[in-house]
Structure 1
């Protein structure tokens, strides 16, 4: 038996069963779920960094949305925080590289 200890998408057990295999799963506590979601964020980010694919970026977004919900926030709250920061500090459209800051002395 191949061993795993990873958070997977909701339909993965059904997909494994449809392939004629048996999977062993458990339902996580809220604490363990959030911990493994945070690990999954790192995993998905690393996969995106390696591939630069839209599919991996979509996976990262899916996990980010799950983290928002698991921590008791809403996607609307996330968007509001993002929009507020963009309004106050801007986005990244101008492609600005900060190379240094001198004290005015």
Structure 2
């Protein structure tokens, strides 16, 4: 089995020169796709732990994805604000249950 994943720059520096790992750099659409996968990975870790450190990892992955896409944080905030205006937020704590569905 092969294990591969996008790692932080500092982790890559720590791994340099080791014989049990191969490091290479990606960019463009490959980096963008790996960052989307990293956001999911970090979201799952955050969901499991609820820790502030995992939330920070999720935020870092999302920030880098935005940078690669050429989108500023302010633009994301604007999109979120517009969606909140149209659909609301999550502060109400509402849960919807569909008894007849097998999946959401």
Q: TM-score range by the shorter chain?
A: 0.7 to 0.9
Q: Distance in 2 between matches of 1:56 and 1:38?
A: 16
Shift of 1:99: 4.5
In terms of Rg, which structure is larger?
1
TM-score, normalised on structure 1? 0.75
| Structure 1 outlier segments of 4+, above 6 Å | none
Question: Paired residue for 1:12?
Answer: 11
CA RMSD after TM alignment? 2.1
Q: What residue ranges of structure 2 are gaps of 5+ in the alignment?
A: 99-104
Structure 1 stretches of 5 or more lacking a match?
101-105
User: How many residues of Structure 1 are paired with residues of Structure 2 in the alignment?
Assistant: 95
Q: Deviations over 1:2-49 (max 9, x none)?
A: x642111112233346xxx63642220312101111111121111112
> Structure 2 length as normaliser, TM-score?
0.76
